[in-house]
Amino acid sequence: MPAPAATPAQDEARPVPRTVGEVLAQSQVEAVMDELEHDLVGLAPVKQRIRDIAALLVIDKLRLNLGLAAQMPSLHMCFTGNPGTGKTTVALRMAEILHRLGYVRKGHLVAVTRDDLVGQYIGHTAPKTKEVLKKAMGGVLFIDEAYYLYRPENERDYGQEAIEILLQVMENQRDDLVVILAGYKDRMDTFFKSNPGMSSRIAHHLDFPDYSGEELLQIADRMTAGMNYRFGPGTREAFAEYLELRLAQPNFANARSVRNALDRMRLRQASRLFAERDRALTEADLTTLAPEDILASRLFQTAER
Ligand X SMILES: Nc1ncnc2c1ncn2[C@@H]1O[C@H](COP(=O)(O)OP(=O)(O)OP(=O)(O)O)[C@@H](O)[C@H]1O
- According to CB under 6 A, which one of 24, 27, 32, 42 is a site residue for ligand X? 42
How far apart CA 18 and CA 2 sit, in angstroms, is 23
A 10 A CB-CB count for 243 gives 22
CB-nearer residue toward ligand X: 96 or 144: 144
Size of the site for ligand X (CB under 6 A): 19
CB of 44 to ligand X, least distance (A): 10
How far apart CA 54 and CA 48 sit, in angstroms, is 10
CB of 187 to ligand X, least distance (A): 12
- According to CB under 6 A, which one of 23, 33, 41, 78 is a site residue for ligand X? 41
CB of 150 to ligand X, least distance (A): 18
Handedness of CA 166, 167, 170, 171 (dihedral sign): negative
Buried b (16+ CB within 10 A) or exposed e, 186-195: eebeebbeeb
What is the DSSP-derived secondary structure letter of residue 148? G
- Residue 112 makes CB contacts below 8 A (sequence gap 6+) with 132, 141, 142, 143, 144
How far apart CA 200 and CA 230 sit, in angstroms, is 47
- According to CB under 6 A, which one of 49, 135, 151, 222 is a site residue for ligand X? 222
- According to CB under 6 A, which one of 76, 87, 128, 174 is a site residue for ligand X? 87
- Residue 143 makes CB contacts below 8 A (sequence gap 6+) with 112, 113, 117, 149, 179, 180, 181, 182
CB-nearer residue toward ligand X: 225 or 270: 225
Helix (H) or strand (E) holding 187: helix 185-194
CB of 186 to ligand X, least distance (A): 15
Coil vs helix vs strand at 21: helix
Is the Cβ–Cβ distance between 166 and 130 less than 8 Å? no
Would you count residue 227 as binding ligand X (CB under 6 A)? no
Per CB under 6 A, the segment of 35-43, 48-56, 244-252, 274-282 that binds ligand X is 35-43
CB-nearer residue toward ligand X: 40 or 69: 40
Would you count residue 86 as binding ligand X (CB under 6 A)? yes
Would you count residue 113 as binding ligand X (CB under 6 A)? no
Would you count residue 32 as binding ligand X (CB under 6 A)? no
How far apart CA 11 and CA 15 sit, in angstroms, is 8
Task: Considering only residues 192 through 221, tell me which ones interact with ligand X, judged by CB under 6 A.
Answer: 219
- According to CB under 6 A, which one of 73, 83, 209, 232 is a site residue for ligand X? 83
Would you count residue 144 as binding ligand X (CB under 6 A)? yes
How far apart CA 67 and CA 57 sit, in angstroms, is 15
Would you count residue 43 as binding ligand X (CB under 6 A)? yes
Would you count residue 85 as binding ligand X (CB under 6 A)? yes
Would you count residue 256 as binding ligand X (CB under 6 A)? yes
CB-nearer residue toward ligand X: 42 or 107: 42
Q: Would you tell me which residues interact with ligand X (CB under 6 A)?
A: 40-43, 81, 83-89, 144, 219, 222, 253, 255-256, 259
